[in-house]
Structure 1
Amino acid sequence: MNLTAVVVVVVAAVLIGAFGLRLSRTTSDFYVASRTVSPLWNASAIGGEYLSGASFLGIAGLILTQGADMLWLPVGWTGGYLVLLVLISAPLRRSGAYTLPDFAEARLESMTVRRTASVLVVLIGWLYLMPQFQSAGLVLRTFTGAPSWVGGLLVAMVVVLNVLSGGMRSITFVQAFQYWLKLTALAVPVIFLLLAWQRDGAPQVSDPAWELPLTGEEEYGLYSTYSLILATFLGTMGLPHVLVRFYTNPDGRAARRTTLVVLSLLGAFYLLPAVYGWLGRIYTPDLARPDTVVLTLPGRMIGGTLGDVLTALVTAGAFAAFLSTSSGLTVSVAGVIAQDLLKGGVRAFRMATLMAVTVPLALALGARALSIADVVGLAFAVAASSFCPLLVLGIWWRGLTSTGALAGLLCGGGLACLAVLAQITAGPFEGLVGALVSQPAAWTVPIAFAVMAGVSVLTPGKVPRGLATIMVRLHTPENLALDRGAWRPRG
């Protein structure tokens, strides 16, 4: 039954993606769906790609093991869109860029900054893709006994097929469908799980420390909590697969509406993994792989045919999570590779898609397996330490220079990448070093802002010549036009 659920999700994703092929003809279709996606449709697609395996499986697993401290993950991942709404969603859409490197070049008029941003986009995308493939292998192995590499390879093949068929327009249809599938896959079983919990006499968690924040045994828990909050709140705006979605809106007003709808959709979804983590603490506190608690609870608490059906449903939702997030990441990474490493165009985009998937798949097969939410959290830390300062200062501060931006990207992004590399290859570390490496955002983000601003102040001659033009473009509503020095409504 679980295998059937996986097959149904895969076939549905392929068929919906094939439908997008009929509507994808131009380069703009492949990169940004010709900027014609409505706010509700776009918000559903954002929810589909943003709610990765870390959201579907990882949050519940971390709450199961670490308790109330991990509730900051869904809060931060939702609140990051509020920061994005206030600071950058509309100006970024008005910039007219296809990708983050496009924005960096347009704002700073520097190919060096653009290439550095391109490298960071690819690294963040690969870091985010790797745990999706690892978790797909874990899920398939749990229910079928297949080798771990089979699940990751299956997800990679479906993603490549969808992206090659129709680019962003095709992926938009697939991801919107997958958001509602994931929401259903968690919401329906949780009703039956709560009924079973009530039937059992409503047992409670026996560990008081689990229910209160900062009362566990983790060293430097306060630091880790604040660093996690900083990474999730500020990292969202630096994720390439999130930002490219705002280029698909018709205008800045639609981009703001999209963000408001996204906040509602994410808020509804993130109520559910916490319930699974809480029930898991009651019924499966010693689960060998906490990431599988969502998949385990229906069979453990309900059992029988109904338990099997609900397990198949959450398995389908898990694979939808892997497919949707991997698809969005692949599109954004492939877009950067196609434009900055290849010659651009649809053919280059398709070649770049293969490059975008092959490397993280190889890393997933060979790297040490970590909690999916932990690895995704590290990707947020890198994004917060690099693109957050670039976007905030680039949009709202006229004094940002190309030299300052480059120094900030290299310093903040470089330090965060080193921490990630150390955690994945040599970790886990103990004591203060372990806290600093596992949650680097609290020190890498301030360093990135300070270096970017400080170097810019010291190099005023590197302010772009076309600064006035790009700033007007970023901050002028689309329904206004400048005519001989006076503002007039268009139309």
Structure 2
Amino acid sequence: MIIAFAVAPVVLVTLLIGLRGVAAMRTTSDFLVASRRVSPLLNSAAVSGEYLSAASFLGVAGLVVKDGIGSLWYPVGFTAGYIAMLVLVAAPMRRSGALTVPDFAEARLASPALRRVTAVVILVIGGLYLVPQFRTAGLVLSAVSNSPYWVGVVVAGAGVAITLALGGMRAATYVQAFQFVLKLVLFIVPAVWLLIQVGPQVRDEAVHPVEFTRFDHDTRVVFRVGTTLTIPEPTTVHIGAAERTVDGSWDVPQGSTVVFPKGAHVPEVTGEARPGGTGWERPLLDLQGAGHPLLGTWALVVALALGTMGLPHVIMRFHTSPDGRAARRTAALTVGLLSVFYLFPGIYGVLGRVLVPQLYLSGATDIAVVALPAQVDAGWPGSTFTALLTAGAFAAFLATSLGLVLVVSGAISYDLLPGGLGQLRFTVVAASAAVVLLALQAIRLDAGVLVTWGFTVAASTFCPLLVLGIWWSRLTVAGAMTGVLVGLFASSGAIAGTLLGLPVTGWLAILVAQPAPWSVPLAFTTMIAVSLRGRPPSWARTAMLRLHLNEDRLETPADRLRALREATRTSETRT
């Protein structure tokens, strides 16, 4: 029923809007940047729809349930990044005339090799960002409809592939703007209903957290992945129709449905603290349980704020603006729209800690948002709001995935293996299929963690490249290439170490799990140091001037060319 009344309409409307882009798509520019004719208001709604991913719609609330109030620094970082982008990147990037980040890299430094390297970075960022979208789609659909995990993954992948193959960026723009409005409504209305419905006692418990130590009712937990629990006392549980007494360490098999009796001690999960425990209400984030919450919080905010500047699907969106002023207005409007949305994840998080804390046992706190209505009302109102939130969640998966698959396909078919419109369409389908296969193996990983790692790689590679490429005329090809590679290997190496369980503790564990505080300065320093040992090309100042020319005074292409020549001649005279 949920699939029919919640997911199917969202996917169907997405496909119908995608058809609208078919007639207007004749060139690569149409496919990638909608011929640069998107107004600031429509573009800001599309950017917001694209940016509000599974990590925003579901992941933040899930992290609050599991890790506490400090997780609300995630939306702070998500939104703050647009202020830096507004000041440093938005307008100059649009004036560059580039279609993609690799396109900008080659236009600025005339290096096909740098273009290929940045295209590879896009594939890494795209993979880290796309996998959690499809993974959470599978989790949500399986939670609300009891369908297999793979069904939601495949539905999300098919919807994205078909929409983009039909309509490209123009279709994606309309879809994402529509889905932003849809997500905003379907996130706010259920939140208000939940606050009214739960009553004063639950609201009081939400703001006065108590550690989740005993089940207050018979509690059903679905373990979609195998988990090791530590049972503090002998407990009789029901596994399907069978009854079993467990004690000590217990390896719960994948796919098990376990009912814990009322009054039983809550098991411990290796490496996880129980929701509501000591420090849960602290307004800082203790990454890796390392005991350095201030460092952990700063590490996260640095990654998110600087990573936003380097996200390739967001950067590409500014190229759809008619000019630099429109790009700047788009960034400013986006800050306002995102700020409205991010007022509400905390509500779902604190209510989830009271009503569905058991989700932490199975590592499924990402679905807390869609699990809440049924806990409050078992009748048709609860089912209705579950359906609405599921529809909003799928809108989040699709909107973000559209932009990401588009930039990944552009990196392959426009930067690495240049081809025409037909090849772009084929690459969209192939890229979607590849991400589906990866997502099927990623059920154990948190969406918020994976997305944050995508930001980290972007902050360590594209942020230095864009900031120095736009604002420093002495940047050289060797400096840019070395800095991007150093940032890529530093950030991805630390991420690999975390996945492999590198045995580090304390502040070092934080800097391995979230390397942005050192990988970003390392990339900047490398770019500057290597560039200072070389000499920038003779036309570097001309390239810089193009990024900063005042467009308001340029009425025609001939005027633009004349102004560029005069500015170049003036700079050469001064030199």
- Asked if Structure 1 and Structure 2 have the same fold, meaning a TM-score greater than 0.5 normalized by the shorter chain, the answer is yes
Contact 2:116 2:415 in 1 (8 A): yes
Distance 1:342 1:378, change over 3 A: same
Q: 1:376 to 1:179 in 2, by over 3 A?
A: same
Task: Determine the structure 2 residue equivalent to 1:82.
Answer: 83
Q: CA deviation at 1:201?
A: 6.4
Aligned counterpart for 1:477 among listed residues 541, 550, 568: 550
| 1:283 positional shift | 2.3
Kept in 2, the 8 Å contact 1:238–1:386? The answer is yes
Question: Superposition pairs for residues 336-485 of structure 1, below 5 Å?
Answer: 336-367=411-442, 369-426=444-501, 430-460=505-535, 463-480=536-553, 481=560, 482-483=562-563, 485=566
Asked if 1:243 corresponds to 2:315, the answer is yes
CA distance in 1, matches of 2:66, 2:408: 33
Q: Which residue of the partner structure matches residue 257 of structure 1?
A: 329
Deviation of the 1:449 alpha carbon? 0.7
Partner residue in 2 for 1:209: 279
Moved more, 29-38 or 281-290: 281-290
TM superposition shift of 1:218: 4.5
Match of 1:331 in 2: 406
Q: Percent identity?
A: 48
- Tell me the distance in 1 between the aligned counterparts of 2:26 and 2:490: 41
What CA distance in whole angstroms lies between the structure 1 residues aligned with 2:410 and 2:84? 25
Identify the range of structure 1 (225-234 vs 347-356) with the bigger mean alpha-carbon deviation: 347-356
Mapped partners of 1:152, 1:23: distance in 2: 30
Give the letter for the 1:6 counterpart: V
1:62 aligned partner: 63
TM-score normalised over the length of structure 2: 0.81
CA contact (8 A) 1:236 1:384 kept: yes
- Cα drift, residue 436 of structure 1: 2.1
* Residue aligning to 1:117: 118
Alpha-carbon spacing, 1:343–1:112, altered in 2? closer, same or farther (3 Å) = closer
| Residue 234 (structure 1) aligns with | 306
Cα-to-partner distance string for 1:61-87 (whole Å, 9 max, x where unaligned): 111122221111000100100000000
Distance 1:128 1:120 in 2: 12
**Deviation, structure 1 residue 222:** 2.1
1:215–1:383 distance in 2 versus 1, CA, 3 Å: closer
User: 1:182: which partner in 2?
Assistant: 183
- Structure 2 partner of 1:293: 368
Gaps of 5+ in 1: none
- Across the aligned residues of Structure 1 and Structure 2, the Cα RMSD in angstroms comes to 1.9
- 1:312 alignment partner in structure 2: 387
Instruction: Report the alpha carbon displacement of residue 121 of structure 1 after superposing the two structures with TM.
Output: 0.8
CA deviation map 1:133-186 (0-9, x unaligned): 111111111122222122111111111100100110111111111111111111
TM-score norm. by structure 1 comes to 0.95
The equivalences for 1:25-174 within 5 A come to: 25-174=26-175
Instruction: Name the one with the larger helix percent.
Output: 1
Q: Which moved more, 1:173-182 or 1:420-429?
A: 420-429
Question: Which SS does the other structure have where 1:203 is aligned?
Answer: helix
Listed one character per residue, the Cα deviations across residues 385-417 of structure 1 (whole Å, up to 9, x for unaligned) are 000000001100111111011110011111111
Q: Identify unmatched segments of 5+ residues in structure 2.
A: 211-277, 554-559, 569-575
CA contact (8 A) 1:126 1:356 kept: no
Residues 361-392 of structure 1: per-residue CA shift (max 9 Å, x gap):
22212246211011000000000000000000
Q: Which moved more, 1:435-444 or 1:306-315?
A: 435-444
Change (3 A) 1:486 1:231: closer
1:281 Cα offset (Å): 1.9
